[in-house]
């Protein structure tokens, strides 16, 4: 019954307690975007260890969550957007630098810096634009 279910049976390792003080309308998006951004960082070994550089393509809802999580994990964060107008907001959310993907100079000046890039853009786009930003053995997710 999907989203219209009245109840669901789930193994306890997949359940967390949402505090009574948290607005339920805000809890679901935080959990959804949170796991979407956290899991690739966990999978690729960015949860513990040395500080690295995480690139985030797309500074919308998912991208903003990605910036916050990567920063909270102690990493440098490169926010990547087609729009220079998002730079101030990205820096306020925790990005340490900003790349305008439509500006070849911006791409070139940040070449090889990202150990991992999380791509949050949901429309067709050319991934080749972002490959120069990856460090040797870097990962585009």
What share of the chain in percent tops pLDDT 90?
Answer: 74
Q: What is the mean pLDDT of the chain?
A: 92
Segment 35-53 mean pLDDT = 95
pLDDT at position 7: 74
pLDDT at position 110: 97
CA distance 103 to 76: 21
CA distance 99 to 83: 9
**Contact predicate 100/84, CB 8 Å:** yes
Pairing between β-strand 53-57 and β-strand 76-81 as defined by DSSP bridges: parallel
Q: What are the residue ranges spanned by the domains of the chain?
A: 23-140
pLDDT at position 6: 73
pLDDT in tens, 102-141: 999 999 999 999 999 999 999 999 999 999 999 999 999 9
What is the total residue count of the chain?
A: 141
* Of 93 and 28, more confident: 93
pLDDT at position 18: 86
Which SS3 state, helix, strand or coil, does residue 25 take? helix
Q: Which CATH architecture has domain 23-140?
A: 3-Layer(aba) Sandwich (3.40)
Segment 97-103 mean pLDDT = 97
- pLDDT band, very low/low/confident/very high, at 15 (cuts 50, 70, 90): confident
φ/ψ region of 12 (left if φ > 0, alpha if ψ in -120 to 50, else beta) reads alpha
pLDDT at position 2: 58
| Rg of the Cα atoms in the chain | 17
Burial zone of 87 (CB within 10 Å; 0-12 exposed, 13-18 middle, 19+ buried): middle
CA distance 67 to 2: 30
Does the pLDDT at position 8 exceed 60?
yes
**Contact predicate 36/62, CB 8 Å:** yes
Phi, psi of 81 (to 5 degrees): -145, 160
């Amino acid at each position: 019954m999907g989203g219209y279910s009245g109840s669901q049976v789930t193994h306890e390792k997949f359940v967390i307690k949402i505090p009574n003080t948290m607005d339920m309308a805000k809890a679901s998006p935080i959990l959804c975007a949170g796991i979407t951004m956290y899991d690739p960082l966990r999978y690729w070994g960015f949860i513990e260890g040395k500080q690295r550089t995480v690139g985030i393509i797309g500074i919308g809802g998912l991208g903003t969550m990605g910036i916050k999580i990567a920063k909270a994990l102690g990493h440098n964060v490169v926010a990547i957007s087609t729009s220079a107008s998002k730079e101030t907001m990205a820096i306020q959310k925790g990005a340490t630098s900003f790349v305008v993907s439509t500006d070849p100079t911006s791409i070139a000046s940040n070449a090889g810096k990202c150990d991992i890039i999380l791509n949050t853009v949901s429309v067709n786009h050319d991934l080749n634009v972002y490959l120069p930003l990856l460090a040797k053995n870097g990962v585009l997710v």
